[in-house]
Amino acid sequence: MDATTRMRVDPSTRWKLRRFERVLNHHTGTLTKRFGASEADRMRREILAEYRPLIPQVPYVGGRRNRYTPALAMSAWALAIYRVLLSHGGSVQDAGEILHNYAQATYGRIPGPLRARMLSPRMKRAEKQARWTQQRRYPGDWLNKVLQGDGRTYDWGIDITQCGIVKFLHAQGADELAPYLCDLDYVMAEAAHVGLTRTKTLAWGCDCCDFRWTIPGDTKAAWPPTFVEQSCGLTTNAVAQIPNAPL
């Protein structure tokens, strides 16, 4: 992006481009390993160019008042990375690996005690967010319901029946990327030392995303992901009986 181009964008767009450029420069070592330094540099420029027209296409869901706004911003980052990777012979898993490594590195830089305070899910905060989503102010927003835990298998939970990321990626023709953004929830849970159990996600065509939290707890964010939600909480035999079910 040359100086002339920089002058033609509004301050908000310029800030978003610069922020994403920093992410690309510091967290895409996977590109260099896979494609070599010269091609990786070219790909970073292409990713930034791909991202710019996506900025105004990201749905507005309340800005800073909505805790999900940053997640939508990251979905646009992910989409730009994915599209450029495809054009260079890469795959959706390659894009997912970049996102996974970025999240791990970002959370890992936060000191342990502070990390737990920043990342650990809080029921009261989740209830406030759920009330916000239930007002249905924005079509691109989430829709949540908070559940009280049973005290044995989990402390509390969230059922998400509409997801802004799934909606955005579907509109962009990139449904296959959504499960890799869902994977980042496990990265966050591992960093925060909380337990996350989930058997379903909207990204796999299930009826909801069923987050179940145990705090404190233990979560392993394996790479590549196992995608346990792919069966939508059903047994293998039950899934096999459903037409077009993901296997």
Q: pLDDT digits over 158-200, tens only? A: 999 999 999 999 999 999 999 999 999 999 999 999 999 999 9
Q: Give residue limits of the domains in the chain.
A: 3-240
Q: pLDDT digits over 8-47, tens only? A: 568 889 999 999 999 999 998 989 999 999 999 999 999 9
* C-beta separation of 190 from 157 below 8 A: no
**In this predicted structure, what is the pLDDT of residue 6?**
43
Q: pLDDT digits over 110-135, tens only? A: 887 888 888 889 999 999 999 999 99
Q: Is the dihedral of CA 216, 218, 223, 229 positive or negative?
A: negative
What is the spatial distance between Cα 238 and Cα 247, in angstroms, rounded to a whole number? 11
Closest to 9 (Cα-Cα) out of 52, 50, 39, 58: 52
* C-beta separation of 31 from 43 below 8 A: yes
161 CB-near residues (< 8 Å, 6+ apart): 143, 144, 145, 202, 207, 208
CA 173-179-110 angle, 5° bins? 120
